[in-house]
Amino acid sequence: MTTVFVTHPRDKLEQYFGPRAVRALQSIATARFNPEARDLSGEELIAAAEGCDAVIAYRQTPGPEPLFRQLPQLAAFIRCAVDIRTVDVGAASAHGVLVTQASPGYVPAVAEWVIAAMVDLGRGITRYAEAYHQGLAVRPFMGRELRGSTLGVIGYGQIGQYLCELALAFGMNVLVTTPRPIARRDRLAQVEMPALLAESDFVVCLAPANAQTENLMDAKAFGAMMHGAFFINASRGELVDEVALMQALESGRLAGCALDVGRAPDQMPSPALARHPLVLAAPHIGGLTLPAIEHQALETVSQLAALLKGEMPTGAVNAEHATRLRGWAGSAA
């Protein structure tokens, strides 16, 4: 029977893979699991996955060249996440290992988190709750409605598109900046970045992380935002110059911000920013809902099941180089 090693740390397995996916995996393969409540080092992972035909990899598990070279039986590296930037796909291909990635099942979850963050920022819900918890005198301030406010969305992928629909339903005006043309609609317009920053009450960063978007939100960008606007990052920490963000908060340029990602390990918001009184920080949980987690976990199991049937799964990144699959009975290669 095919043997699979699941790299999720022991304390992350239930929330980030789930018992339903574990049962599904065990029904088609012999499953071995990370025994530690932490990510394994490269050498530890190689030792733990010795003799395995496939690895189902947690989002934090890298796929470096030594892993593929030193595990000659490994035929598939199945990422339980969309982001495969830490996987050396070239090295995997050179050694004949198939790499797959999951599709984004977290679109509604992240978009809803952004809506919740905007409501919280505009109405001060967390600020009031914290004051009451501490027994402080609570001084009401004038809140902001989403209805009639302008949302600026940087990036128009699946999350961006879903978020725009929610914002329109709330009665917001929406500005979008994205490289490809999109159709103009009532209360939704595509604009260049400077116009979006200058005219938006809420700016949400949902652009992909790559070399072109590194520090996309820098001092110039924050300086171009409307005075008293709010900034929300639900994409990747690398898109934001954190020193510039801190300065924008300290100077009063921004009325506040919400962060579900940052430059701390595992895309967590950096502690200095998370502690700031004008920041709503969440520990990278925008996509942490049962439907979102089960979508990706069960998809990895489905990818493995397809391989066992001799089919190349949806999500395969380097199918033409997956020569080790020829060693699997009934494989697609």
Walk me through the domains of the chain, giving residue ranges and CATH numbers. Answer: 3-105+289-327 (3.40.50.720), 107-281 (3.40.50.720)
Looking at residue 239, what DSSP letter applies?
A: G
Q: Which of 202, 181, 201 is nearest to 192 (CA)?
A: 181
Interacting residues of 130 by C-beta distance below 8 A, sequence separation 6+:
none
Catalytic: 227? no
For residue 205, the surrounding DSSP H or E stretch is strand 202-205
- Phi and psi, residue 204, nearest 5°: -115, 125
Question: Would you state the pLDDT for residue 326?
Answer: 87
Question: Would you state the pLDDT for residue 332?
Answer: 44
What is the mean pLDDT of each successive set of 10 residues along the chain, which is 333 residues long?
96 95 97 96 96 96 97 97 95 98 95 98 96 93 96 97 98 97 92 98 95 94 97 96 97 97 93 96 95 96 96 96 80 45
Question: Would you state the pLDDT for residue 279?
Answer: 97
Question: Would you state the pLDDT for residue 327?
Answer: 73
Q: For 241, how many CA atoms within 13 A lie in the half-sphere containing its CB?
A: 13
Rounded CA gap, 258 and 199, in Å? 19
Question: Would you state the pLDDT for residue 235?
Answer: 95
Among 95, 284, 295, 321, the one annotated catalytic? 284
Question: Would you state the pLDDT for residue 330?
Answer: 40
